[in-house]
Amino acid sequence: MPPSEQPAVGARLLEEVKALRLDQDVAEVAEEWVKIVLFRAGSGRYAFYGHNIREILSGNEIYWVPGLPEFLPGLINVRGDIESVIDIQCLLGEPRAGAGEPGLIAMAVGKNFRSGIMVDAVEDVVDIPVSSIHPPLITLGEGVGDLVAGQIQLGKSLIPLLDIEKLQGRVTL
Amino acid sequence: MTPPDLRVHLLLFRLGQARFAVLASQIETLRAHDASGPARWCHALLGFPAAPSYRAPTEALVSGTWIVLDAMEELLDIPLEAIRPFPDLVEPFSLRRGLWGILPNQGQLIFLVDLQQMVKPDTILQPDPVAHSKLV
């Protein structure tokens, strides 16, 4: 091709840039994302899938019921609906620091499962690519290891992603 | 839908901070607590981890057994539909203690207890049943 008919360098580079962006867009469309809720329980950071958490409650009185195991501290009244409350710290084997600030209750829903879950704080709700969820490490402790669906790479941290159905299996008689 | 005439008559009482109700028809008679008598303490039947302080202990006769209740509050006549079941996670544990329903009342939760069931010899519970078995 005679030099006069060759596209200008700028135009050629522009074509390449567009092609690269197109590839990138295709990659982004193909990547599946999920919403997760990051929370703190005791000294640890954990996460739930966002679709499992219906709402976060604060200031609810927990009604103690005789005969419940330690991981079920009682019941709450949520706008007229009576819901159970799970002490996730107890199930995760997190050491209890003693009576501190009253925490929050995350209302969790799953297949045939509904309960409040006591957490110390909700840190964030974020969208992450599914590819950033890794299989759980076998080095996770027994309490946590029984409840995780995977681990999330967030920055330099690996955060256990808890599985509501595994939690249900653990607390259901 | 519950027929409108299906109502229950409840006797409300307290044990510590918790509020309970029993079907009035289960109580044959009431009397002041006699410390020398053979009555059973309600908190022990319900499996309280420690005895609450009783402000006005009163004995109720249920199926031939005297049970010490505390702080009788009032009689309530309510429609059956006002009573809620315990949540699924809690019900297996609560039924073991004779607790069969919940009455939300003035922002509080009142637990309905079947005292007749509790005083049956084969259902009287030991202080530490299988409550923690799932964690072991």
CATH number, domain containing residue B15:
2.30.30.40
User: How far is residue A171's CA from residue B85's CA, in Å, rounded to a whole number?
Assistant: 18
Is there a contact between A64 and B18 if contact means CB atoms under 8 Å apart? Answer: yes
CB B81 within 8 A of CB B103: no
User: How far is residue A18's CA from residue A31's CA, in Å, rounded to a whole number?
Assistant: 20
**Position B59 in a domain:** yes
Which amino acid makes up residue A159? I
Nearest chain B Cα to A112, which residue? Answer: B88
Number of alpha carbons in the 13 Å side-chain half-sphere of residue A54: 11
Facing A69 at nearest CB: one of B46, B104, B134: B134
In the stretch 33-62 of chain B, residues with CB closer than 8 A to chain A read 46-48
One pLDDT digit (tens) per residue for chain A, 173 residues: 666 677 787 888 888 888 887 777 666 667 799 999 999 998 889 999 999 999 999 989 999 999 999 999 999 999 999 999 999 999 988 776 555 556 899 999 998 899 999 999 999 999 999 988 988 876 666 677 788 999 998 888 889 999 999 999 888 86
Is some CB atom of chain B closer than 8 A to the CB atom of A7?
no
Facing B87 at nearest CB: one of A84, A91, A173: A84
Shortest Cα–Cα distance, B87 to chain A (Å): 6
Is there a contact between B89 and A84 if contact means CB atoms under 8 Å apart? Answer: yes
How many other CB atoms are there within 10 angstroms of residue B89's CB atom? 22
**Position B41 in a domain:** yes
Give start and end residues of each alpha helix (H) in B47-97.
Answer: 91-96
pLDDT digits (tens, 9 = 90+) for B5-55: 689 999 999 998 899 999 999 999 999 998 888 899 999 999 898 999 898
What is the span of the domain harbouring residue B101?
7-129
Is there a contact between A66 and B104 if contact means CB atoms under 8 Å apart? Answer: no
**Position B103 in a domain:** yes
| Structural domain total, chain B | 1
**B113 sits in which H/E element:** strand B108-113
Q: What angle do CA B4, B9, B14 make, to 5 degrees?
A: 135
**Position B117 in a domain:** yes
CB A108 within 8 A of CB A163: no
CB A99 within 8 A of CB A41: no
**Position B11 in a domain:** yes
For B67, counting Cβ atoms within 10 Å of its Cβ (0-12 exposed, 13-18 middle, 19+ buried), the class is buried
**Position B1 in a domain:** no
The predicted model scores a pTM of 0.79
**Position B136 in a domain:** no
Facing B102 at nearest CB: one of A71, A82, A173: A82
CA nearest neighbour of B62 among B105, B104, B13, B4: B13
**Position B2 in a domain:** no
